[in-house]
Amino acid sequence: MSFQRIAIIGLGLLGGSLGLAIAQRLPNASTAGFDADPATRDRAAQLGLVGTVCGTAAEAVAGADLVILCVPVGAMSNAALTFAEALPADAVVSDVGSSKASVAKALAQALPHHTIIPAHPVAGTEQSGPDAGFGELFAHRWCILTPPADVPESAVEKLSAFWEALGANIEIMDPDHHDLVLAVTSHIPHLIAYTIVGTASDLEEVTRGEVIKYSAGGFRDFTRIAASDPTMWRDVFLNNREAVLEMLGRFTEDLTDMQRAIRRGDADKLFDLFTRTRDIRRGIVEQGQDDARPDFGRKDH
Ligand code: NAP
């Protein structure tokens, strides 16, 4: 049996995309949604992101067999508390947050009597808000589930089947391992992008006009990432603190190593690293996780 009544809390990029994907790929399931922002609720209703846009989170979860929280990771606990009383006893609760250990803890504390299976669809864009959603967001992307040990296997299988129906591939992981992996593949790259764009904008000897004019020299691709939602990313760094600091330490050491290679004119060291990294890019394209075109095939989004 698949989920029939799905409640989505938070109707921005992820929540909106989820509602659209369910409508497209699971037409027999009904969706109800809530967002804390009244303007987002209105826009979600206009765009038809979910079947019913509710005035409260409690209304949205009434009768639901699956509730998915699509709010910033720092807002998970408060969002869960707003509907805790109205949540049906047998409903499965999940989320889409970008960090997992702290979210798992927050949800377990807020909803101690429910089946909670934290999840992270590794799919997104630098856009946010209800207008950014699109139903194909999860197609051919990985969705990582981090089920606690005491959750029934049948519930994990049901949630896996739900995400597979939306086009995603499933991976089961321990939450701490998830946080370490995502620190290096997603969180540190965002931190580097935010920092380099900040550094360029603070320079006194290079004008802002020059930075923008010559951005195709690599800077432009960093600005795409650095345009990502400030609330979401503030929360990711505050909630995945340990793993990010661990990976940042290693990155800083490697950066210092490169600094030394440049200073000493160690051509082989530079060339070897740049050759190795090119292979990683090829692997990503070969596995269908990106597009080899110079615009990454992203013009439509
Ligand atoms: P978003 O577009 O900003 O949407 C989040 C929505 O949640 C906003 O409309 C926000 O309203 C609302 N919200 C905040 N607190 C709430 C509460 N207590 N109750 C109900 N609604 C609340 O963000 P997003 O990109 O969809 O991200 C949502 C989650 O997905 C985050 O946990 C993020 O880590 C994760 N994620 C994001 C990506 C990505 O690429 N963007 C990818 C994978 C996972 P306000 O604007 O009024 O705060």
| Per-domain residue ranges of the chain | 5-173, 177-286
Q: Which of 76, 142, 232 to probe ligand 1 with, by most ligand atoms within 8 A of CB?
A: 232
Q: Which of 219, 218, 222 is nearest to 194 (CA)?
A: 222
Question: If you measure from the C-alpha of residue 270 to the centroid of ligand 1, how many angstroms do you get, rounded to a whole number?
Answer: 40
d(CA 65, CA 67): 7
The topology under which CATH files domain 5-173 is Rossmann fold (3.40.50)
In degrees rounded to 5, what are phi and psi of residue 170?
Answer: -105, 140
Fold match, 5-173 / 177-286: no
Question: If you measure from the C-alpha of residue 199 to the centroid of ligand 1, how many angstroms do you get, rounded to a whole number?
Answer: 27
β-bridge pairing 115-116 and 66-69 = unpaired
Residue 41 vs residues 25, 26, 30, 46: alpha-carbon distances, Å: 23, 22, 17, 9
- The correct answer on CATH 3.40.50.300 for the domain covering 177-286 is no
Which residue has the least CA distance to atom 40 on ligand 1?
124
Q: Is 40 in the pocket of ligand 1 (CB under 6 A)?
A: yes
Compute CA 84 distance to the chain's CA centroid, rounded to the nearest angstrom. Answer: 24
d(CA 118, CA 132): 23
Question: If you measure from the C-alpha of residue 70 to the centroid of ligand 1, how many angstroms do you get, rounded to a whole number?
Answer: 5
Question: If you measure from the C-alpha of residue 128 to the centroid of ligand 1, how many angstroms do you get, rounded to a whole number?
Answer: 8
Half-sphere exposure of 208 (CA within 13 A, CB side): 3
With both helix axes pointing from N to C terminus, report the angle between 13-25 and 38-47 in degrees, rounded to the nearest 10. 30
Residue 279 vs residues 25, 190, 251, 274: alpha-carbon distances, Å: 35, 21, 19, 9
Question: If you measure from the C-alpha of residue 122 to the centroid of ligand 1, how many angstroms do you get, rounded to a whole number?
Answer: 14
* Residue 33 near residue 49, CB atoms below 8 Å: yes
Per-residue pLDDT of the chain (301 residues; tens, 9 = 90+): 799 999 999 999 999 999 999 999 999 999 999 999 999 999 999 999 999 999 999 999 999 999 999 999 999 999 999 999 999 999 999 999 999 999 999 999 999 999 999 999 999 999 999 999 999 999 999 999 999 999 999 999 999 999 999 999 999 999 999 999 999 999 999 999 999 999 998 888 888 888 888 888 889 999 999 999 999 999 999 999 999 999 999 999 999 999 999 999 999 999 999 999 999 989 888 888 888 877 776 654 4
Query: Which pTM value belongs to this model?
Result: 0.94
Which residue has the least CA distance to atom 31 on ligand 1?
72
Q: Is 58 in the pocket of ligand 1 (CB under 6 A)?
A: no
* Residue 247 near residue 254, CB atoms below 8 Å: no
Question: If you measure from the C-alpha of residue 145 to the centroid of ligand 1, how many angstroms do you get, rounded to a whole number?
Answer: 18
Q: Which atom of ligand 1 is nearest to the CA of 130?
A: 2
* Residue 85 near residue 98, CB atoms below 8 Å: no
Which residue has the least CA distance to atom 14 on ligand 1?
71
Q: What angle do CA 266, 198, 261 make, to 5 degrees?
A: 5
Identify residue 152 by its one-letter amino acid code: P
Q: Is 156 in the pocket of ligand 1 (CB under 6 A)?
A: no
Instruction: Map residue 291 onto helix, strand or coil.
Output: coil
- Res 293: pLDDT: 79
The β-bridge partners of 30 are 5
Question: If you measure from the C-alpha of residue 121 to the centroid of ligand 1, how many angstroms do you get, rounded to a whole number?
Answer: 13
- Res 297: pLDDT: 66
Q: Which atom of ligand 1 is nearest to the CA of 132?
A: 2
Q: Is 69 in the pocket of ligand 1 (CB under 6 A)?
A: no
